Amino acid sequence: MRGVFPLEPALAGLLEQKDSSMSHHVFHDICLHVVWHTKNDQPLLNEDVQERVHQFVRRRCARTKGVFLHGIGGTETHVHLALAVEPFVGISDVIGDLKGASSREINRQKSFKALYWQRGFGVVSFGRKNLPFVLGYIANQKEHHAKGTTHVRLERAACEPIPNGKNKRGGRIGEDS
């Protein structure tokens, strides 16, 4: 899995250009973990589709004003992102665009409806000091799911109740319990 990635030189150049869009009179450090699922959690993100989705999301984020992608990963049923955003960014708008545009593009490339997303998404904020933890979590998604070491806060993609007692990892990001 290619998941979390070092910035490619072309993407790094785009980020430097975008960085000047916010006033120098505003301090912001908004880090977000985002997750969304395939329709009915169907395993639609095989290796080929997953790589296409990840590449598309990387390019789309690099071209979206105020959005900086730190990492992307996931499993056959869902996508995880670590983002930094500027204060003017509408989170729902960005995620809606990423989901809609990625499925349209993949379906265009495949010439059939190969990908469709479930309604909604999950988003939680985290401090920059937790970025390495979040990136590691995203990079090791398949392992976390195989071993049952997922974190409830980083997996929730809808307003669903947290299973009582089924997962001890519902605390703050970066905590083990």
Q: Kindly report which listed range (9-13, 23-27, 80-84, 98-102) carries the lowest average pLDDT score.
A: 9-13
Q: Assign 13 a pLDDT band (cuts: 50, 70, 90).
A: very low
pLDDT at 54: 97
Name the burial class of residue 161, with classes exposed (0-12), middle (13-18) and buried (19+) by CB atoms within 10 angstroms of its CB.
exposed
Mean pLDDT, all residues of the chain: 82
> What is the full DSSP assignment across 100-130?
HHHHHHHHHHHTS----BPS--EEEEE-GGG
Q: What pLDDT was estimated at residue 163?
A: 54
- 134 falls in which pLDDT band (50, 70, 90)? very high
pLDDT band at 20 (very low <50, low <70, confident <90, very high): very low
Q: What pLDDT does residue 150 have?
A: 80
What is the spatial distance between Cα 105 and Cα 117, in angstroms, rounded to a whole number? 13
Q: pLDDT tens digit string along 44-98? A: 999 999 999 999 999 999 999 999 999 999 999 999 999 999 999 999 999 999 9
Select the CATH number that applies to the domain covering 27-155 from these four: 3.40.1120.10, 3.30.70.1290, 3.55.40.20, 3.30.70.3270. Answer: 3.30.70.1290
Closest CA to 129 of 73, 87, 173: 173
- 16 or 22, which is more confident: 22
- Decide which of 99 and 147 is more confident: 99
- Residue 37 pLDDT: 95
Instruction: State the Cα–Cα distance between residues 105 and 148, nearest whole angstrom.
Output: 33
pLDDT for the residue 145: 83
At residue 148, the pLDDT reads 86
Q: How confident is the model at residue 162 (pLDDT cuts 50, 70, 90)?
A: low
Under the banding of pLDDT at 50, 70 and 90, the label for residue 177 is very low
Rounded to whole angstroms, the Cα distance separating 20 from 130 reads: 25
Higher pLDDT, 161 or 165: 161
Query: What pLDDT, on the 0 to 100 scale, is given for residue 137?
Result: 93
